[in-house]
Amino acid sequence: MNPNAYARLLDRYLRPQLKRMLWLALLLFTGIGLQLASPRVIRYFLDTTQSNGSRPALLWAAVLFIVFALAQQLLGLGSAYLSLLVGWDATNRLRYDLALHCLRLDLGFHKTHTPGELIERLDGDVTALANFFSQFVLRIAGNGLLVLGILALLFLEDVRIGLGLAAYIALTLAILAAVQRLAASRWAAARQASAGLYGYVEERLSGAEDLRAAGALPYALYRLLLLLRAELHEYRAAHTLSAAVFNFTNVLSVLGYAVGLGFGAYLYTRGEASIGAAYMIVAYVGMLASPLQALREQARDLQQTAASVERIQALFALRPLVVDPPAPTGRPLLPAGPLSVGLDGVTFRYDDGDAAAGGAFALENVACSIAPGRVLGVLGRTGSGKTTLTRLLFRLYDPTAGAIRLSGADLRAVPLAELRARVGMVTQDVQLFQATLCDNLTFFSPRPPGSQADMEAALQALGLWDWARSLPQGLDTPLGAGGQGLSAGEAQRLAFARVFLKDPGLVILDEASSRLDPASEARLERAVDQLLAGRTAIIIAHRLRTVQRADDILILEEGRVVEYGPRLALAADPASRFAHLLQTGLEVTLA
C-alpha cells in the first residue's frame, strides 16, 4: 500500500477541517496528560497513607483524582463529538467526490459495474474510512505519546524497567507491522466478496419478475447461497487472521504485566522503591496495554482501511477517455437556436473488451450533414449502429476516426456541459428516480427562478399538467422507486417534458414512441411537433411511420451508410432502399 495514497486522502479531506483537528488534538492530548497523572496521584496517596501523612493532603489527592477523571470524561465526550464531525464531513465529501467522479467516467465503466457493486464501493468502502479520517492520525499520535510518556516516567523511576519495556514495546510494534501486511490482502478479498454479493443481490432484485417468469427463483437462491458461503469464508479468514494478531499481542502484554508486577515487588522487597512506587510501576505497565491495544486496533482498522483505500484509489485512478475540454473564454461555441450537425467519416469501435459489437466496427466511415432546423430520419436493423450514433452525438464516446461537428465546432472542443445542455434525447427506456416529480423533471438541478412556469408549460404541452396538479403535493409529490405507479405512456411523456425544459438546439428521438399504443402515440405527435419546431432533430426508429416527418433519410447497415438522401426523393425512386423498405416493410407488416 502506497503511503502517499493515505497522505493525499488525509490532506484533501482533513485540511479543510484543520481548526477542528487542532481542537481535537488539544482534547486528546490533554486527556493523555490526565491519564498519565492518575497513577501518580494514587502513588502519592499510598505512600502518604503508609507514612501516616496528613489528612488534608490525602483529601486533596482524592479530590484531584476525581477532578482528573471527570475532566477525562468531558474531554472524551468533546473529542467524540469532534471526531464525528470530522469523520462525517470528510467521508461525505469523499462520497460526493467519488459519486461525481464515477458519474463522469465513460459509459464503458458503467457497463461493467453493477449499481450494487458501486454502492458497496462508494458507500461501503467510504464508511470503512470514517474512523481513519476522524481518529487515525490523532489516535496514533495520542497513543504513541501515551506510550512514550509511560516509558519516560518509568525510566525516571528505574532505568532497568524502562529499558526492558522499551524492548518489549519495540518487539510488539515490529510484530504488528509484519502481520498487518499479511492481513490487508485478506480484507481486500473479503470486501470484494461483499461487493460481489451485493452486486448480485441488487441486480436480481431489479429483475425479480424475469427470474420468476423463467422459473429461475430456486436457481437464483442457489447462486445466492454460493455467494454467501464465499463471503463467509473470506470474512472468517480475515477475522481469524486479525484475531491471531490480537491474541498474540495479548500474550505479549500479559508477559509484560507479569514482568512489571514481579519487578515492582522485587524493588519494594529490596527497599529500592516505596509501596506507592511499586504500585505505580505495576499500574503504568498495566496502563501500557490500553494504548498498545489502541495502536493495534488502529493497525487492524488500517488493514481494513487499506483494502478500502486501495479500491477507492483505484476508482479515482480511472480517467474518462472522453476528455472534457476547458471552457473557452468569451462566447459559447454552440450558437443559440437550432444547430447544424456534420458527421465526417465517423468510424467507431467499442473498446470495452468483449462488447456487443465483438471487436467489429460499430460505425464505419459514416458521413452526413443536417442543416439547422432539418430533421434526419435514421433507419436500420437492430444492431446496425443507430444507438451508437446517438451515443457519439452526446460524446459518451469519441469516434475512433473522423469527427462530429455541431454548427461547425468539433465535439471534442466543446465543453461537455455545454454540449449536453444543447442536445436532448428521449429514449425508449425512461429512467425515473425515487424523488419528487420536479426533481425527476429537472434531474436535480437547482431550480432557477421562473422555472415553475417553464415546468407548467412543458407539462401542459404534453397533457400532463392536470395529472401533475391532481397529485397530493403537485410538483413536489414523490414518485416511487423506478417510476412505480406510472404507466409506460406517462413515463414517456415525462421524458419528453424533460427535454422540453432543457430547450436544446438538437433533439434525438430514439425509438421514442415505440412503446405507446397508436392512439396515445397520436396524442404525442402534437407534442413532438412542438418539440421539433425550431430545432434540428434526428429521429431513430424501426418503424417507417415514425420517420414520416424526416426531411432526409439515412439507412445504416452493419455500421455503414447504405443510403442517404431527401426522404421524398428516395421514396419516389423505386430503385432506392428506402422505397423498397417502404414497400417490403409494409408487405411484411401486413402479410
| 152-211 residues near other proteins, rule: CB under 8 A | 194, 198-199, 201-211
Candidates 82-90, 155-163, 330-338, 529-537; binding stretch for other proteins (CB under 8 A)? 82-90
Q: Report the nearest approach of other proteins to the CB of residue 178 (Å).
A: 20
- Grid cell at residue 330: 468569451
Q: Which of 498, 506, 535, 570 binds other proteins (CB under 8 A)?
A: 498
- Give the SS3 label for residue 481: helix
Q: Report the nearest approach of other proteins to the CB of residue 32 (Å).
A: 16
DSSP letters, 402-449, are: EEEEETTEEGGGS-HHHHHHHEEEE-SS----SSBHHHHHHTT----T
Q: 1 or 99: whose CB is closer to other proteins? A: 99
Q: 12 or 345: whose CB is closer to other proteins? A: 12
**CA distance linking residue 128 with residue 195, whole number of Å:** 13
Distance in angstroms between the alpha carbons of the first and the last residue of the chain: 67
**CA distance linking residue 364 with residue 341, whole number of Å:** 18
DSSP bridge pairs for 560: 557
Residue closest to 197 by CA, chosen among 169, 234, 161, 168: 234
DSSP bridge pairs for 376: 538, 552
Q: 358 or 574: whose CB is closer to other proteins? A: 358
Q: Report the nearest approach of other proteins to the CB of residue 464 (Å).
A: 10
Q: Report the nearest approach of other proteins to the CB of residue 4 (Å).
A: 26
Q: 380 or 399: whose CB is closer to other proteins? A: 380
Q: Which of 157, 521, 552, 563 binds other proteins (CB under 8 A)?
A: 521
- Which residues, numbered 50-79, are part of the site for other proteins (CB under 8 A)? 50, 52, 55, 58-59, 61-63, 65-66, 69-70, 72-74, 76-77
CA angle 172, 175, 176 (to 5 degrees): 85
- Which residues, numbered 452-491, are part of the site for other proteins (CB under 8 A)? 467, 471-472, 477-482, 484-490
Q: Does 289 bind other proteins (CB under 8 A)?
A: no
Q: 7 or 62: whose CB is closer to other proteins? A: 62
Strands 506-510 and 536-540: parallel
Q: Which of 25, 42, 148, 401 binds other proteins (CB under 8 A)?
A: 42
Answer yes or no: are the C-beta atoms of 195 and 124 closer than 8 Å. Answer: yes
- Which residues, numbered 214-273, are part of the site for other proteins (CB under 8 A)? 214-226, 228-229, 231-232, 235-236, 239-240, 243, 247, 250-251, 254-255, 257-258, 261-262, 265, 268-269
- The residue count for binding other proteins (CB under 8 A) is 182
DSSP bridge pairs for 380: 556
Q: Which of 7, 96, 319, 337 binds other proteins (CB under 8 A)?
A: 96
**CA distance linking residue 485 with residue 491, whole number of Å:** 10
Q: 326 or 472: whose CB is closer to other proteins? A: 472
**CA distance linking residue 242 with residue 183, whole number of Å:** 7
Q: Which of 2, 4, 11, 112 binds other proteins (CB under 8 A)?
A: 112
Q: Does 533 bind other proteins (CB under 8 A)?
A: no
Q: 2 or 319: whose CB is closer to other proteins? A: 319
H-state helical runs in 394-481: 416-422, 437-442, 451-461, 465-470
Q: Report the nearest approach of other proteins to the CB of residue 373 (Å).
A: 21
Q: Does 145 bind other proteins (CB under 8 A)?
A: no
Q: Does 33 bind other proteins (CB under 8 A)?
A: no
Q: Which of 158, 297, 439, 573 binds other proteins (CB under 8 A)?
A: 439
Angle (deg, nearest 10), helices 137-157 and 159-206: 160
Q: 221 or 533: whose CB is closer to other proteins? A: 221
Answer yes or no: are the C-beta atoms of 305 and 128 closer than 8 Å. Answer: yes
- Which residues, numbered 347-406, are part of the site for other proteins (CB under 8 A)? 352, 354-360, 380-383, 387, 391, 394, 396
Answer yes or no: are the C-beta atoms of 510 and 426 closer than 8 Å. Answer: yes
Q: Report the nearest approach of other proteins to the CB of residue 65 (Å).
A: 5
Candidates 157-165, 170-178, 427-435, 451-459; binding stretch for other proteins (CB under 8 A)? 427-435
- Which residues, numbered 297-326, are part of the site for other proteins (CB under 8 A)? none
- Which residues, numbered 4-23, are part of the site for other proteins (CB under 8 A)? none
- Give the SS3 label for residue 349: coil
Q: 2 or 240: whose CB is closer to other proteins? A: 240
Q: Report the nearest approach of other proteins to the CB of residue 221 (Å).
A: 6
In order of 8, 85, 102, 473, the CA distances from 319 in angstroms are 18, 31, 9, 42
Each residue 564-583 as x (binds other proteins by CB under 8 A) or -, in order, gives -------x----------xx
DSSP character for 361?
-
H-state helical runs in 318-397: 386-393
- Give the SS3 label for residue 357: coil
Angle (deg, nearest 10), helices 275-317 and 3-14: 90
DSSP letters, 151-174, are: HHHHHHH-HHHHHHHHHHHHHHHH
Residue closest to 85 by CA, chosen among 17, 30, 178, 142: 17
Candidates 150-158, 181-189, 433-441, 529-537; binding stretch for other proteins (CB under 8 A)? 433-441
Q: Report the nearest approach of other proteins to the CB of residue 180 (Å).
A: 18
**Amino acid identity, position 426:** V
Q: 45 or 348: whose CB is closer to other proteins? A: 45
Q: Report the nearest approach of other proteins to the CB of residue 149 (Å).
A: 20
Q: Does 414 bind other proteins (CB under 8 A)?
A: no
CA 156 vs. chain centroid, Å, equals 52
State the residue for C-alpha cell 483494502: 307
State the residue for C-alpha cell 502513588: 43
**CA distance linking residue 485 with residue 476, whole number of Å:** 16
Q: Report the nearest approach of other proteins to the CB of residue 378 (Å).
A: 12
Q: 329 or 382: whose CB is closer to other proteins? A: 382
**CA distance linking residue 571 with residue 560, whole number of Å:** 20
Q: Report the nearest approach of other proteins to the CB of residue 3 (Å).
A: 28
